[in-house]
Amino acid sequence: MHRSRRRFLQASAAFAALVATGCSRNRLPEHVPPKAYAEPPAPGDEVRLLVLGDWGSGQIEQWQVAQGMDRVARELGGFHAGLMLGDNFYPAGIDNVDDPLWRTYFEQVYDTEFLGWLHWYPILGNHDHAGSAQAQVDYSRKNPRWHLPELYWARTFHNAAGAPLVKIIGVDTNKEFERWPEQMKFLDRELADAGNTPVVVIGHHPIYTCGKLGALPRVKTELRDKLVAARVAAYLAGHEHNHQLIVRDGITQLIQGGGGKTLTPLIWRHEAKGVVFADESYGFSVLRAGPTGLRFDWRDKDGRLLYGHRL
């Protein structure tokens, strides 16, 4: 069932792209492996995490964003890991661990000097659930760069002395996800166990948005209430294909959805409550955790700084 639906959606998307662009839509360029790889840095006083959302498009912009990430990695001295915010494979996920999209959309695009050995911690988006969600979990056993032990997970990053700098909790916010009550109990435990360590929760769907896509009911109620009660440092989402910072109702929400898929408009940019920053462009983000706290920087596809926010 997944396969037939996915093939239909792929064919429909391809046909629509050809009609819309007169058969001239730029696709991913031919892959050229780097001559050498830079190892991710050892833990130091801070941890630097790449943040990428809504990326698996197969469009030229996906490749351009990857090149921008590589440039910023060189500028900052490398990244310790990366976070992926879902919609990893358009239009309808992947079929299995041997799906060719793994190679063309993930393995090759992020095979650069500074990204080629980077480890990624993903969550799933709605397009991923149109395919096999379990296959993205199982791929973790095939490729050590892909860390998805379960559809929800927690990972704490430490400094060189072993002190925790930030705890990341990944949750599945999709309506297709049937284990929501079990996941919420897991979230409660992980939030309680964090102690004084800053916590950033990541999920695909935003709680608030000044774009065209609305929030799912259980995300904007139950999930939001838990995050506010726990006083998390931030909630980080994708789904909207743009950049946003919204601070309201006791929560700081960061949106990073410019990883490669066609952009979505910021139709409520000047009307929505709590909007601090919004930009309709391709790009990625950098989360830095250090002795003075957390900082989140939005970058465009070339790596130029768009906006910075200290959490």
Q: Where are the beta strands (DSSP E) in the chain?
A: 47-52, 81-84, 120-122, 153-158, 164-170, 199-202, 234-237, 243-248, 251-256, 275-279, 283-290, 293-300, 305-310
Q: Where are the domains of the chain?
A: 2-310
Distance CA 285, CA 307 (A): 10
2-310 CATH? 3.60.21.10
- In angstroms, the CA 91 to CA 56 distance is 9
Q: What pLDDT score does 66 carry? A: 98
Q: What would the pLDDT profile of 251-310 be if each residue is shown by its tens digit?
A: 999 999 999 999 999 998 888 999 999 999 999 999 999 999 999 999 999 999 999 999
Name the nearest CA neighbour of 65 among 241, 265, 269, 244. 241
How many whole angstroms separate alpha carbon 223 and alpha carbon 232?
A: 12
Measured distance CA(98)–CA(3) in Å, rounded: 13
Q: What is the pLDDT of residue 25?
A: 52
Closest CA to 66 of 29, 26, 24: 29
C-alpha 166/C-alpha 116 separation (Å) is 24
Task: Give the DSSP per-residue string, 248-267.
Answer: ETTEEEEEE--SSSPP---T
Task: Give the position of tokens 């830095």.
Answer: 288
Q: What is the pLDDT of residue 6?
A: 53
Paired with 297 in beta bridges are 286, 308
Is the bond preceding 206 in cis, omega lying within 30 degrees of 0?
A: no
Enumerate residue ranges in the chain where pLDDT < 70: 1-25
What sign does the dihedral 216-218-219-224 (CA atoms) show?
positive
Please report the pLDDT score of residue 270 as a whole number: 85
Distance CA 284, CA 236 (A): 12
Rounding to the nearest 10 degrees, give the CA dihedral for residues 225, 227, 231, 237.
-130
What is the value of pTM for the model shown? 0.92
